[in-house]
C-alpha cells in the first residue's frame, strides 16, 4: 500500500446516552468522507474513543467501516493498538480478517517501554500476519516516544510501511525522513503543511470529520507542489483545526461540532465529559467563521465518487 493524502480519524457515533454505537450514523459518516474525496478512514483510533469500546463494539465499527468504505474507494486503516502485545496482535489479526487495508499501532501507553521494548512489540505484531502497519507516535497520550532511530529499525520490516507522527515535532519528522523511506503522515491538522515541507505525504485528520473536501484539497495541493494554494487552504483551516484540538481533549470539541451540524448525538463516554457551555459557544463561532452550517451535513455525490463507484 501507498500511504499519502487525507485520512480521516473517524469519530464513533453513540446514542444520546452513550450506551450504544449508532451504526446507522456511522454509515452516514463514512459515506460523507467518501463524498468529500479523502483517501481513507481510520476507525477505532483516539478520535474514535477506542479505549471505551467493548471487543464486540470494536469489531462492529471496523466491520462497518470496511463494508461501507471499501466499495466507495476508501482505504481502511483500523485502529488495533494496545499496551498488551498479545492483545495488539489479536486486534491486528482481527483487522486483517475483517478486510482492513492496514492497522494503526499506537506506542504502548502506561507501560512506558524502552526503545528495545517498543521495537520488539511492533516487530511481533508485524510478524503475526501480513497486514500492513502504520505506527502511531503520540507521546502526549502514550508517555513514550518512538524515536527516529527506532522507526528506522522498524521500517526494515516489509509490513511496517507508514507512521502517523503526532509528536508535534518538526525535528522528529525531519530525522525520520533522513533515516528511512517510511511514509510519514502528520497527526496534527495544524502541522500538515509544515510536515509536508520536510517530506510528510499527508495527514490523519480530525477536522476532516467536518470538512473532508477541504482537507483532501490541502493534500492535493501538497502533492502538486502548489505552495500558494497550500498556504491558502492551510490558513482557512487553521482556526477550526486548532480549536478542535485545544478547547478540550479530542474528540470532545469535535463531537460538539458534529452535534451543532446535526451529524452526531455529541455524546462521549466516560471518563470524557461533554463540552462546556463556553466551549460549545466558541465552537459555534468557529463553525460560523468556517461557513459551516447544519445544511452542510448532507454529503453531495461528487464526480470523483461517481468515478470510484
pLDDT average, residue stretch 58-67: 98
pLDDT average, residue stretch 131-137: 98
Q: Reply yes or no on whether the pLDDT at 301 is more than 90.
A: no
Contact 38, 112 (CB under 8 A): no
Q: In 3D, which of 106, 66, 256 has the Cα closest to residue 58?
A: 66
pLDDT average, residue stretch 245-251: 97
Residue with cell 505506527: 135
Q: Reply yes or no on whether the pLDDT at 307 is more than 70.
A: no
Domains, the chain, ranges and CATH?
5-308 (3.20.20.70)
Q: Say which of 31, 109, 112, 164 is annotated catalytic.
A: 164
Q: Return the pLDDT at 67.
A: 98
Contact 218, 8 (CB under 8 A): no
The pLDDT confidence band at residue 308, using thresholds 50, 70 and 90, is: very low
Q: Return the pLDDT at 305.
A: 39
Q: Return the pLDDT at 295.
A: 55
The pLDDT confidence band at residue 300, using thresholds 50, 70 and 90, is: very low
Residue with cell 530525522: 175
Q: Return the pLDDT at 1.
A: 75
Catalytic (active site) residue 112: no
Q: Say which of 109, 136, 238, 255 is annotated catalytic.
A: 136
**Which of 30-34, 281-285, 288-292, 293-297 is predicted with the least confidence, judged by mean pLDDT?**
293-297
Inter-axis angle of helices 85-98 and 55-69, nearest 10: 30
Mean pLDDT (the chain, rounded): 94
Q: Return the pLDDT at 2.
A: 85
Catalytic (active site) residue 255: no
Q: Return the pLDDT at 294.
A: 82
Amino acid at each position: 500500500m501507498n500511504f499519502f493524502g487525507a485520512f480521516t480519524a473517524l469519530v464513533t457515533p453513540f446514542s444520546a446516552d452513550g450506551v450504544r454505537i449508532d451504526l446507522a450514523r456511522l454509515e452516514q459518516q463514512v459515506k460523507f468522507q467518501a463524498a468529500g474525496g479523502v483517501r481513507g478512514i481510520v476507525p477505532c483510533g483516539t478520535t474514535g474513543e477506542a479505549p471505551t469500546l467493548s471487543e464486540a463494539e470494536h469489531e462492529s465499527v471496523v466491520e462497518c467501516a470496511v463494508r461501507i468504505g471499501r466499495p466507495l474507494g476508501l482505504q481502511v486503516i483500523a485502529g488495533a493498538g494496545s499496551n498488551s502485545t498479545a492483545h495488539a496482535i489479536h486486534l491486528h489479526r482481527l483487522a486483517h480478517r475483517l478486510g482492513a487495508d492496514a492497522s494503526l499501532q499506537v506506542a504502548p501507553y502506561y507501560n512506558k517501554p524502552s526503545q528495545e521494548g517498543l521495537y520488539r512489540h511492533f516487530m511481533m505484531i508485524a510478524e503475526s500476519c501480513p497486514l500492513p502497519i502504520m505506527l502511531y507516535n503520540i507521546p502526549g497520550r502514550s508517555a513514550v516516544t518512538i524515536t527516529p532511530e527506532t522507526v528506522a529499525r522498524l521500517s526494515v520490516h516489509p509490513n511496517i510501511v507508514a507512521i502517523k507522527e503526532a509528536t508535534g515535532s518538526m525535528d522528529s519528522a525531519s530525522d525520520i525522513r533522513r533515516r528511512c523511506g517510511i511514509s510519514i503522515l502528520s497527526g496534527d491538522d495544524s502541522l500538515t503543511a509544515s510536515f509536508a515541507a520536510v517530506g510528510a505525504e499527508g495527514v490523519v485528520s480530525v477536522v476532516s470529520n467536518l470538512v473532508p473536501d477541504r482537507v483532501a484539497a490541502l493534500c492535493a495541493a501538497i502533492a502538486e507542489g502548489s505552495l500558494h494554494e497550500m498556504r491558502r487552504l492551510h490558513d482557512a483551516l487553521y482556526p477550526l483545526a486548532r480549536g478542535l484540538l485545544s478547547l478540550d481533549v479530542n474528540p470532545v470539541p469535535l463531537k460538539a461540532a458534529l452535534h451543532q451540524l446535526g451529524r452526531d448525538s455529541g455524546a462521549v463516554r466516560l471518563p470524557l465529559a461533554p463540552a462546556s457551555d463556553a466551549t460549545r459557544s466558541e465552537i459555534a463561532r468557529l463553525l460560523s467563521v468556517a461557513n459551516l452550517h447544519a445544511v452542510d451535513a448532507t454529503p453531495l455525490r461528487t464526480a470523483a465518487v461517481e468515478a470510484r463507484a
